[in-house]
Amino acid sequence: MEDMLEDTVLVNLRVNGKLHELEIPAHKSLLDLLREDLNMTGTHMGCMTGHCGACTVSIDGRVAKSCITLAATLSRAKITTIEGLTEEDGTLSPIQQAFWDEAGFQCGYCAPGMLMCTAELLESNSDPSDSEIETALAGNLCRCTGYQSLKRAVKAAAVKAKEKAS
């Protein structure tokens, strides 16, 4: 029985395409793993209770709040963080470009959540309505923009992404 208990946990994570094999303590959140073990600080801490969304990443293609995701439960997973949105040659993705052009953020602290959720939204919906945008971003708080420019940024991102695809 005791042999079923592990003191540390081995996880294999592909983060933004790069494979990491890590031996981690059982209690570690994915947020801490990214920030502390992998030095990827683009994903932010705003509450540690799942309310703000600043820590959002995508796990196997679905957005998640990394602060309330126990890293040890992801024995094998593909993770994309905000850093992973930038293309390999350094060009910004349509979403990043649109958020920048339309002032979809001010201080930028909420950007990880807003951008990652927009990315997931646009994957299945190339022309989101206001209410679809509201649903997609409902898990994220922004304290600076008042959300108006953010909505505009999501719409602009949709247009840019379509242009790029065609």
Binding site for ligand FAD (CB under 6 A): 50-51, 68
Hey, which residues between 56 and 115 contact other proteins (CB under 8 A)? 56, 59, 62-65, 67-70, 72-73, 75, 81-83, 85-86, 92, 96-97, 99-103, 105-113, 115
Q: Which of 129, 134, 162, 164 binds other proteins (CB under 8 A)?
A: 134
Q: In what order do the strands lie in the sheet with 56-59?
A: 18-25, 8-15, 76-80, 56-59, 62-65
Q: Which does 81 bind (CB under 5 to 8 A by kind): ligand FAD, ligand FES, other proteins, none?
A: other proteins
Q: What are the CA-CA distances from residue 27 to residues 8, 30, 56 (Å)?
A: 9, 10, 19
* Alpha helices per DSSP H over 19-72: 30-32
| 44/160 with CB nearer ligand FES | 44
C-alpha span between 105 and 140 (Å, rounded): 12
Instruction: Decide: 15 and 21 in contact? Cβ < 8 Å.
Output: no
Q: Which residues bind ligand FES (CB under 6 A)?
A: 45-48, 50-55, 65, 67, 105-110, 142-145
